[in-house]
């Protein structure tokens, strides 16, 4: 979630992305995201296992801001709100990155997740 393009970024994990995004948009979820106006869904990842999602959430929270912004911008360079698409009200505004080359953000993130760079 983000407050605006290049604004405050909130990272969280949920089992129901639609409902949790709705709560953030309507301001019914107290805490950091409400206090900072984070009501735009600009990025999400899906996982088959809750443990994998929690591990990824904790890792992302340790990332610096520049890395988080690169992650968003690789697929959503306009910082478009993904909630309408999630609700079936429009096309997916995200960019296809399946063919990004070795110097891409995707390659950087793959190396980071594989432990080749970063906190090691």
Task: Give backbone dihedrals phi and psi of 2, rounded to 5 degrees, phi first.
Answer: -140, 155
pLDDT at 91: 87
From CA 28, how far away is CA 52, in angstroms rounded?
Answer: 27
pTM metric for this prediction: 0.78
Alpha helical stretches, state H, 1-120? 17-26, 32-35, 50-62, 65-75, 83-86, 105-113
Q: Is the pLDDT of residue 68 over 80?
A: yes
**SS3 of 42, please?**
coil
Q: Tell me, what DSSP letter sits at residue 1?
A: -
Q: Is the pLDDT of residue 120 over 50?
A: no
pLDDT at 55: 97
pLDDT at 87: 92
pLDDT at 30: 85
Q: Say if CB 12 and CB 32 are below 8 A apart.
A: no
Confidence of residue 96 (pLDDT cuts 50, 70, 90): confident
**SS3 of 9, please?**
strand
From CA 120, how far away is CA 118, in angstroms rounded?
Answer: 6
pLDDT at 48: 93
């Amino acid at each position: 979630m983000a407050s605006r393009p290049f604004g405050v970024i909130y990272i969280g994990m949920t089992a129901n992305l639609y409902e949790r995004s709705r709560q953030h948009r309507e301001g019914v979820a107290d805490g950091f995201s409400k206090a900072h106006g984070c009501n735009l869904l600009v990025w999400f990842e899906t996982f088959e296992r809750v443990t994998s999602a929690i591990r990824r959430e904790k890792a992302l929270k340790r990332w610096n801001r520049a890395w988080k912004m690169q992650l968003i911008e690789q697929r959503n360079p306009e910082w478009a709100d993904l909630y309408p698409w999630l609700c079936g009200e429009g096309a997916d505004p995200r960019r296809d990155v399946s063919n990004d080359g070795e110097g891409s953000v995707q390659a950087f993130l793959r190396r980071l997740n594989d432990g080749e760079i970063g906190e090691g």
